[in-house]
Amino acid sequence: MPPDHHPIPWEQLPPEWGPTEHDDGCFAYRHRRSPTVLVADRTPAANSHPGFGLCCYWELRCRYSLGDRSLSEAIARVSTRSAAVEGLLECMHRVHDSVEQPTDPIEVVNVLREVSMSDIVPERRSGSK
């Protein structure tokens, strides 16, 4: 995958959001005026039940700074990269719609705590129904 090909196309991003990191196992986005970074990180599923057949999951996190401290807070865990993309996109849209000035990481984190990933279901892209 070329380094300029990000998981979420530019036209789907809310205004002033853009990518900060991207590789096969991690991608991140942030608002231009916000110290908050939304991250999807592929994590080994070493502790998952073998019956689930998962070798990894995607953890959605919010990273931010308060004073001289760097903090990271889990938002959700999802089983597929597609769900991670949809989850981060939902988080970005929620912040865009709910936070007037995204410069306050506490306000952004409080909005993200209200995001439910139970409604995020990856779209099945197959020719058969």
The answer to the question of residue 21 being in a domain is yes
The answer to the question of residue 3 being in a domain is no
pLDDT of 62: 94
Q: What percent of the chain has pLDDT over 70?
A: 81
Q: Is-contact 61 39, C-beta < 8 A?
A: yes
CATH number at residue 93: 3.40.50
Is the pLDDT at 6 greater than 90, yes or no? no
Top-confidence residue, 51 or 6? 6
- In terms of residue numbers, what domain contains 112? 10-116
Give me the number of domains the chain comprises: 1
Nearest to 82 by CA among 60, 67, 115, 107: 60
The answer to the question of residue 54 being in a domain is yes
Tell me: the pLDDT tens digits for 28-81? 999 988 889 999 999 887 766 555 566 788 899 999 988 889 999 999 988 888
